[in-house]
């Protein structure tokens, strides 16, 4: 693994109930990692919208940089919450509706840690809405999913907390030909328990993109080997 955890003295404090839950999940993971991952995913899925930002910030502070093995290959994704700007709140509502109905949306990310690259996966039903929003962007088809929105990854200090090491996901390299808004986006990932990661979405703005705004959280879980689609190197 190319990274080590570092804690900040300014990290938000985890509520006692969340601290107890996380401790119990980590203890369960020692003997039954599958059950722990399943329970952790259900827990994150049920975070009430009105309590999300402070609780998730505190939970993120308890995470550690994920090992390469924890994210290698296909990971299932879940948007937990987007907030701040009006259009992000609108996307949050659509993501929640899509998850509830099992409809179009974000399927997750695929990591190729040997090259420190990866891409996002969209569900089949997301193709038409995506192309209406970004008509000049080209997705690639893989069975029942669409692939694109490529990225580079690296273990490096968080843009919001320089004392904390995260797995940073960056979209700005010209070779990826990502949409302009995505090039200003940076995802940061930590692992809560083996195979379950919490991510945060950061939007850069201002002169030289020096201002960083936290605009959302998402979760990733490693798809078990037997259920995994073999990733292709497409970058």
CATH code (residue 88): 2.40.160
The answer to the question of residue 200 being in a domain is yes
The answer to the question of residue 176 being in a domain is yes
Mean pLDDT by 10 residues, the chain (235 residues): 43 84 97 96 86 88 95 93 62 50 73 97 82 86 90 96 96 93 93 97 74 90 66 37
Total domain count for the chain? 1
The answer to the question of residue 37 being in a domain is no
Query: Rg of the chain over CA atoms, in angstroms?
Result: 17
Give the model's pLDDT for residue 226.
57
Domain span at residue 69 reads 65-227
Give the model's pLDDT for residue 233.
37
pTM for the full predicted model: 0.84
d(CA 189, CA 106): 17
The answer to the question of residue 46 being in a domain is no
Residue 64 pairs in a beta bridge with 191
Give the model's pLDDT for residue 85.
60
Element (H, E) at 26: helix 16-29
């Amino acid at each position: 693994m190319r990274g080590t955890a570092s804690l900040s003295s300014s990290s938000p404090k985890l509520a006692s109930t969340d601290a107890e839950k996380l401790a119990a999940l980590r203890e369960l993971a020692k003997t039954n990692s599958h059950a722990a991952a399943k329970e952790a995913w259900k827990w994150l899925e049920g975070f009430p919208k009105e309590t999300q930002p402070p609780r998730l910030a505190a939970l993120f502070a308890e995470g550690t940089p994920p090992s390469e093995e924890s994210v290698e290959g296909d990971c299932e994704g879940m948007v937990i919450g987007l907030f701040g700007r009006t259009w992000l709140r609108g996307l949050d509502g659509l993501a929640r509706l899509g998850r509830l109905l099992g409809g179009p949306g974000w399927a997750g990310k695929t990591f190729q840690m040997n090259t420190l690259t990866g891409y996002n996966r969209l569900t089949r039903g997301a193709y038409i809405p995506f192309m209406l929003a970004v008509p000049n962007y080209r997705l690639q088809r893989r069975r029942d999913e669409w692939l694109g929105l490529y990225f580079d990854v690296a273990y490096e200090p968080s843009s919001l907390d320089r004392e904390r090491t995260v797995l940073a996901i960056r979209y700005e390299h010209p070779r990826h030909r990502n949409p302009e808004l995505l090039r200003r986006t940076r995802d940061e990932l930590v692992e809560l328990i083996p195979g379950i990661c919490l991510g945060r979405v950061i939007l850069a703005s201002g002169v030289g993109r020096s201002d960083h705004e936290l605009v959302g959280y998402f979760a990733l879980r490693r798809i078990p080997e037997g259920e995994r689609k073999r990733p292709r190197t497409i970058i």
